Homo-oligomer: A and B are copies of this chain.
Amino acid sequence: MDRITSAKNPLVQQLRALRRGAAGDLMAVEGRVMILEALSCGLAPRYALLEEELPQRELAEALARAGARVYWAPRALLESVCATKTPQGSCCAFDMVPPRSPAGPRIVALDGVQDPGNVGAIWRTADAAGFGGILLGAGCAGPENPKVIRASMGSCFRLPYEKVPDLGARLEDLKASGMAVAVSALDGEDVYQRAPLGDAFVLVIGSEAHGASLDVKARATHRLRLPMRGGAESLNAAVAAGILMYELTR
């Protein structure tokens, strides 16, 4: 297999652009565990850089079998293309995981959740809690961001997602189809005292700083709040989403 040593190599430069979520039809997957997960989900690898000092023959062969061009590279070059601080030893460009419509009856929707760690963790929790998919409203981090991929632990390869530029309009459609629209809101009703939701619902999580937008709140059939019993005024968005997802599917 070939070796790449120059930071000016076009593949290296493209991986750097992918790290910033720059290219539309490719995504960068970092680290052995995530790369193997992507392969097992049937995603198509294009090319990979593997750190040459590490014993990665097996990973290289798995990638080559799946059709990827595989290159060995020095550690410094790997570090320069990876978004995660912890050295991963490998970085692979895959075809972007294609959007698919979430399959009900339970969907989670994000309204301006920007932090990639939060988006990935919510994606992972939705997958664990048995949700049918995730809607990403305007301004949300997406699967083109390697930190989303990493925080999702591969759930973004499996659980359907869709980017929804006008989340309010989509919520209206879902409501018309018979789903409840539950919006997490600090001024909502206590989730443990909630009016019955039914089995089909979309749970909306608002942005870290401002919560759900006014347009989205206006579509809500339920506004839900977690009780704050101590000194904290709010929760981390991914933690709040996780508590609500498990509570509503209890």
Measured CB to CB, the residues of A under 8 A from B are 117, 121, 124-131, 151, 153, 155, 158-159, 192, 226, 228-236, 238-243, 246-247, 249-250
Point out the residues of chain B lying under 8 angstroms from A243, CB to CB: 242-243, 246
Whether B117 contacts A229 by the Cβ 8 Å rule is: no
Whether A231 contacts B151 by the Cβ 8 Å rule is: no
Which of B159, B236, B250 sits near A230, CB closer than 8 Å?
B159
Instruction: State whether A130 and B229 are in contact (beta carbons under 8 Å apart), knowing that A236-B151, A239-B125 are contacts in the complex.
Output: yes
Could you jot down 21 A-B contacts, CB within 8 Å? A121-B238, A125-B235, A125-B236, A125-B239, A127-B232, A128-B229, A129-B230, A130-B230, A151-B236, A153-B232, A153-B233, A153-B234, A155-B231, A155-B232, A158-B230, A226-B246, A236-B238, A239-B239, A239-B241, A239-B242, A243-B243
Which of B121, B159, B192, B226 sits near A231, CB closer than 8 Å?
B159
Point out the residues of chain B lying under 8 angstroms from A159, CB to CB: 230-231
- Cα of A56 to Cα of B169 in the assembled complex, Å: 41
20 further A-B contacts with Cβ under 8 Å, apart from A124-B236, A125-B239, A229-B249, are A121-B238, A121-B239, A124-B232, A125-B232, A125-B235, A127-B230, A128-B229, A128-B235, A129-B230, A130-B230, A155-B231, A158-B231, A159-B230, A159-B231, A235-B242, A236-B238, A239-B239, A239-B241, A239-B242, A242-B242
Point out the residues of chain B lying under 8 angstroms from A117, CB to CB: 117
Q: Which residue of B lies closest to A131 (CB)?
A: B230
- Cα of A130 to Cα of B228 in the assembled complex, Å: 8
* Residue of A125, A126, A241, A249 with highest tally of chain B CB at under 10 A: A125
- Cα of A126 to Cα of B228 in the assembled complex, Å: 10
- Cα of A228 to Cα of B238 in the assembled complex, Å: 17
* Residue of A234, A239, A243 with highest tally of chain B CB at under 10 A: A239
- Cα of A234 to Cα of B73 in the assembled complex, Å: 32
Min Cβ gap A146→B in Å is 15
- Cα of A247 to Cα of B243 in the assembled complex, Å: 8
Point out the residues of chain B lying under 8 angstroms from A226, CB to CB: 128, 246
Instruction: State whether A128 and B242 are in contact (beta carbons under 8 Å apart), knowing that A117-B117, A192-B250, A250-B192 are contacts in the complex.
Output: no
Q: Which residue of B lies closest to A117 (CB)?
A: B117
* Residue of A117, A241, A242 with highest tally of chain B CB at under 10 A: A242
